[in-house]
Chain A
Amino acid sequence: MQRGHTHPISSLIREANGIFYEMGFTLAEGPLIESEWYNFDALNVPKDHPARDMQDTFFIKDEPGMVLRTHTSPVQIRYMEEQIKKGNLPPYRVIVPGKVFRNEATDITHEAEFFQIEGLAVGEDVTLAHLKGTLENFFQQLFKGADVEIRFRPSFFPFTEPSVEVDMRLVGENVPEKLRDKWIEMMGAGMVHPSVLKNSGVDPEKYQGFAFGMGLDRLALLRWGIDDVRLMHSADLRFINQF
């Protein structure tokens, strides 16, 4: 029997879960139709933030306050809230791979439906240095055979403070020439904003942590040299059967 093929995104999620599981991360999930509270307010995105305007977010008809989630970050809140409810205090470590939505026209770099992976680590002494170490470890294992370098640049997200943009560089002879020695923007990340912890019921005086969110489609594009993000959702075996 000829084997079928796994979708590259599924393969990537499988690999990411394997790596993060070893680092103590549990895979968590949340709904795709999400309340504005979890998707925005609890994440410290104010009511009048431009991201909440009509053009970026899909709103659900006749269900006021409900949207198609625009990122995997609402699961940060849901997960912590659930743990507190169960009486489990931090440390927490979770990753959240899943589908997210942006209300935009599609082209070779944009899709209205795409995949993200979220990471969250909360404890008494989880630092920005741990974020660097964790991501370095992840990329090092994902891009086997290359030497991976990570760097941070200042950025801004309402749900992290400090916020950083994370760049990665692959060094070494085994790296495809297109990627070799080039800094590539990988994701947004930072230290969880105290308001986000508070909104989840976690005491920000005692606990702190890091969070990151990365586009999986983009990661797949880089990993395999794919030139059009729409292929991911094309259901075309001329693409999928290469994996």
Chain B
Amino acid sequence: MKISRDWLQTFFEQPLPDAAALADALTFHAFEVESIENVGLTKSHMDQVFDVKVTPNRGHDCLSHRGIAKEISAILNIPLAHDPLRMRLNLIPVATNLAISIQEPKLCSRYIAGMIRGVKVGPSPEWLRKHLEAVGQKSINNVVDATNFVMFNIGQPLHAFDAGQLTEKGGRYAIQVRLARVGEKMLALDDKEYGLSDSMMVIADAHSGAAIGVAGVKGGKPAGVNENTTDIIIESANFDGVSVRKTAAALKLRTDASVRFEQVISPELAAYGMHAVAGLIVKVAGGEIVGFVDEYPFRTHRVLNGIEVSIKEVNRVLGTNFGETDIIDVFTRLGLPFEKNDDAFIVTPPFERLDLLIPEDIIEEVGRIVGYDKISAVELPPFPKQPEVNPNFYAAEHEREDLISKGYSEVFTSVFADKGERVVTNKVDGVRPYLRTSLIPGLEDALLKNARNKDLLGLKEVKLFDIGTVWKSGKEVTMLATIGEKEKANERVLEPIAVNTYEHLPTSSTGNYQTFSKYPFIVRDIAMWVPAGTEADDVLKVIRENSGELLVRSEKFDEFRKNDKVSYAFRLLFQSFDRTLFDEDANARMENVNDAVKEKGWEVR
């Protein structure tokens, strides 16, 4: 989530440390900060925007500036100047001209509607535009901006409907939260028409029956707020996370609202959202609050239980020696209410901390706020038993070493194939969806590919093996297969070998891997007569010195003696890292080599 440093500062009286220090504080005690971006507002003032990777367990409370401010407050031990979620609320008066009905309370645990009359829709004040633009939002108008601001400020998605576009009957508006009808369509605020299905939740005008929003995802165009709007109905609701996720996925419409519902937020938050947005709209767009209706069928289920955790348990899990004061300090900084009961604490998480359920959750809070750097590295005590030798792994290792000593090299080939007994249903690239029944086809491909590079590899014969899984006759089996240019492919089941100790086998001593060229190489041979007693290495040295930078491999491949002369034959490979070589490239370099050889008095054959 994008978090503005200026926006964060509004939660604190004392000036916050610089962006780098804030990013470090978050990264090592809460969430990874993926980037810090300077957002230029004026020449004299830059805001900094953090991209904070909020973990899925904290989507409940940290997809908001308030959530991140609370973390910063706990980590750096700087008090919040005010906490919008810790005030007493009273949503009054009750609006008598609004009726709410929820058809599926399981999918909508709370729906608060608030009505404001006489707003003047127009541009937002600068401070509001500035905050929204810093986090990448486009300013739309003062009413819509106010709903977005509160969402990014405390995490509650909100929506404003134009009451003038809803049907009034007997002086009352009626909003219904219901499942969409089969074949129902809705034109959304993004000017696209969405086809809905009966598993999706919509907000409807109960009098007209028309859908005016896809619940938790997007508002409808016809009831959208525009410059002619004067009376508005604001929605602050709580929708089921799974339902919203499925709807957003099906409509390919993930929004800032749907993301927050998907992560599951507390229905308690809805009241704070409504209170904040109603106040803000009156402030930036004028108007008068008519009242609120709060439909909250599941209130009684939302009591969070106290979590009991002892000092001993904290240290037993973390491997630390924290004392009572260390732990109390963490609870205080995080604002976690607790009671002390002998050696144990009973922590009662605030409503927004839906992630805190078991003692380990509390232990994690202690660990991360104190800092994982305070945990020392301790070696495990000796294991009381001799570890077992895995018979399958032993067998694989044994065979591997045997084959390597016989000149075979090990390759891994894909488990996916053109045919087989079992098949995956949903392969992204769509090709080769079967699971192989044999290692041989993959190994044959590998042989063909590698045989072309035999000269480059300096091999007399390419020989390969693969130890891998196949799925055959309804079973998953580990097979061993070999292949060579001069031998047929062979495949057998890798049989386990039960022993008591592993063999001591060599591991790679390679330092750094060297990138190889992906372009084809050119082979040239040169043969010559030299006086007996001339070393092949000395000849090779002359060849190498005169063949230029494209020579990648050179070796002697033939030698015979006739009287006082010796014939040597050498094979030269030319290759470039950035292009395909032409015959001329090799010819030019061979001419140099020929000249140098002749100059030595050697006779090119």
Binding site for B on A (CB under 8 A): 1-12, 14-15, 17-18, 21, 23-29, 31-33, 48, 50, 53-55, 58-61, 63, 68, 91, 93, 99, 103-106, 112-113, 121, 125-130, 132-134, 136-137, 150-156, 161-165, 176, 191, 193-194, 208, 224-227, 232-233, 235-243
- Residue B251, interface by CB 8 Å: no
Residue of B nearest to A163 (CB): B364
Q: What is the CB-to-nearest-CB distance from A37 to chain B, in angstroms, rounded to a whole number?
A: 17
Given contacts A24-B383, A93-B383, A132-B375, contact A243 B29 (CB under 8 A): no
Q: Is the CB of B513 within 8 A of A225?
A: yes
Q: Which of A3, A61, A137, A164 contacts B424 (CB 8 A)?
A: A61
Q: Is the CB of A127 within 8 A of B392?
A: no
Given contacts A29-B390, A240-B409, contact A113 B453 (CB under 8 A): no
- Residue B360, interface by CB 8 Å: yes
Q: Which residues of B contact A161 (CB under 8 A)?
A: 358, 360-361, 363-364
Q: Is the CB of A154 within 8 A of B364?
A: yes
Q: Which residues of A contact B379 (CB under 8 A)?
A: 130, 133-134, 137
A191, A225, A237, A238: most-surrounded residue (chain B CB, <10 A): A237
Per-residue interface assignment for chain B, residues 130 to 144, with 1 indicating a CB less than 8 Å from any chain A CB and 0 otherwise: 000000000000000
A interface: dominant SS: mixed
- Residue B393, interface by CB 8 Å: yes
Binding site for A on B (CB under 8 A): 27-32, 55-58, 241-242, 245, 249, 316-320, 358, 360-361, 363-364, 367-368, 372-373, 375-380, 382-385, 387-388, 390, 392-393, 397, 400, 403-416, 422-429, 435, 442, 445-446, 449-450, 453, 456-457, 459-460, 462-466, 469, 471, 476, 502, 505-508, 510-516
Q: Is the CB of A33 within 8 A of B367?
A: no
Q: Which of A53, A54, A121, A224 contacts B380 (CB 8 A)?
A: A121
CA distance A112 to B466 in the complex (A): 19
Q: Which residues of A contact B28 (CB under 8 A)?
A: 153-154
Q: Is the CB of A132 within 8 A of B422?
A: no
Q: Is the CB of A193 within 8 A of B360?
A: yes
Q: Which residues of A contact B429 (CB under 8 A)?
A: 105-106
Q: What is the CB-to-nearest-CB distance from A140 to chain B, in angstroms, rounded to a whole number?
A: 10
Q: What is the CB-to-nearest-CB distance from B518 to chain A, in angstroms, rounded to a whole number?
A: 9
Q: Which residues of B contact A23 (CB under 8 A)?
A: 380, 383
Q: Is the CB of A243 within 8 A of B508?
A: yes
Q: Is the CB of B316 within 8 A of A153?
A: no
CA distance A238 to B446 in the complex (A): 12
Q: Which residues of B contact A63 (CB under 8 A)?
A: 422
CA distance A80 to B463 in the complex (A): 40
Q: Is the CB of B372 within 8 A of A153?
A: yes
Known contacts A17-B502, A161-B363; 10 additional CB pairs below 8 A are: A1-B406, A4-B406, A6-B404, A26-B390, A27-B390, A152-B373, A154-B367, A176-B512, A235-B446, A240-B410
CA distance A14 to B504 in the complex (A): 10
Q: Which residues of B contact A151 (CB under 8 A)?
A: 372-373
Given contacts A26-B387, A150-B377, A194-B358, contact A235 B442 (CB under 8 A): yes
Q: Is the CB of B319 within 8 A of A68?
A: no
Q: Is the CB of B512 within 8 A of A60?
A: no
Q: What is the CB-to-nearest-CB distance from A79 to chain B, in angstroms, rounded to a whole number?
A: 11
CA distance A59 to B425 in the complex (A): 6
Q: Which residues of B contact A193 (CB under 8 A)?
A: 360
Q: What is the CB-to-nearest-CB distance from A171 to chain B, in angstroms, rounded to a whole number?
A: 15
Q: Which residues of B contact A68 (CB under 8 A)?
A: 424
* A-B complex: 9 closest residue pairs judged by Cβ atoms: A24-B383, A129-B319, A127-B319, A162-B364, A156-B55, A152-B372, A235-B411, A235-B446, A132-B377
Q: Which residues of B contact A104 (CB under 8 A)?
A: 428
Q: What is the CB-to-nearest-CB distance from A43 to chain B, in angstroms, rounded to a whole number?
A: 15
Q: Which of B242, B464, B476 contacts A31 (CB 8 A)?
A: B476
Q: Is the CB of A103 within 8 A of B428?
A: yes
Q: Which residues of B contact A15 (CB under 8 A)?
A: 507
Q: Which residues of A contact B403 (CB under 8 A)?
A: 4
Q: Which residues of A contact B459 (CB under 8 A)?
A: 2, 237
Q: Which of A2, A11, A126, A164 contacts B372 (CB 8 A)?
A: A164
Q: Which residues of A contact B390 (CB under 8 A)?
A: 26-29
Q: Which of A33, A50, A55, A164 contacts B476 (CB 8 A)?
A: A33
Q: Is the CB of B412 within 8 A of A235?
A: yes
Q: Which of B317, B373, B409, B416 contacts A4 (CB 8 A)?
A: B409
Q: Is the CB of B27 within 8 A of A153?
A: yes
Q: Which of A4, A7, A26 contacts B412 (CB 8 A)?
A: A7
Residue of A nearest to B501 (CB): A21
Given contacts A5-B409, A129-B318, A153-B27, contact A165 B32 (CB under 8 A): yes
Q: Which of A18, A54, A154, A226 contacts B513 (CB 8 A)?
A: A226
Question: 15 A–B contact pairs at CB < 8 A?
Answer: A1-B407, A6-B506, A7-B412, A23-B383, A55-B428, A60-B422, A61-B422, A127-B318, A132-B375, A133-B377, A235-B442, A236-B449, A236-B450, A237-B459, A237-B462
Q: Is the CB of B319 within 8 A of A59?
A: no
Given contacts A31-B476, A129-B319, A133-B380, contact A154 B56 (CB under 8 A): no
Q: Which of B30, B319, B411 contacts A154 (CB 8 A)?
A: B30
Q: Which residues of A contact B320 (CB under 8 A)?
A: 129
CA distance A165 to B353 in the complex (A): 22
Q: Which residues of B contact A10 (CB under 8 A)?
A: 400, 410
CA distance A61 to B435 in the complex (A): 11
Q: Is the CB of A162 within 8 A of B363?
A: yes
Q: Is the CB of B453 within 8 A of A60?
A: no
Given contacts A5-B409, A235-B449, contact A153 B32 (CB under 8 A): yes
CA distance A2 to B407 in the complex (A): 5
Q: Is the CB of B423 within 8 A of A4?
A: no
Q: Which residues of A contact B469 (CB under 8 A)?
A: 32, 99
Residue of A nearest to B372 (CB): A152
Given contacts A1-B407, A153-B32, contact A130 B502 (CB under 8 A): no
CA distance A156 to B460 in the complex (A): 52
Q: Which residues of B contact A224 (CB under 8 A)?
A: 510-513
Residue of B nearest to A88 (CB): B385
Q: Which residues of A contact B513 (CB under 8 A)?
A: 224-226, 239, 242
CA distance A3 to B375 in the complex (A): 46
Q: Which residues of B contact A9 (CB under 8 A)?
A: 412
Q: Is the CB of B378 within 8 A of A129?
A: yes
Q: Is the CB of B415 within 8 A of A194?
A: no
Q: Is the CB of B383 within 8 A of A240?
A: no
Q: What is the CB-to-nearest-CB distance from B2 to chain A, in angstroms, rounded to a whole number?
A: 20
Q: Which of A105, A154, A232, A240 contacts B428 (CB 8 A)?
A: A105
Q: Which of B358, B424, B506 contacts A59 (CB 8 A)?
A: B424
Q: Which residues of A contact B378 (CB under 8 A)?
A: 127, 129-130, 132-133
Q: Is the CB of A162 within 8 A of B424?
A: no
Q: Which residues of A contact B446 (CB under 8 A)?
A: 235
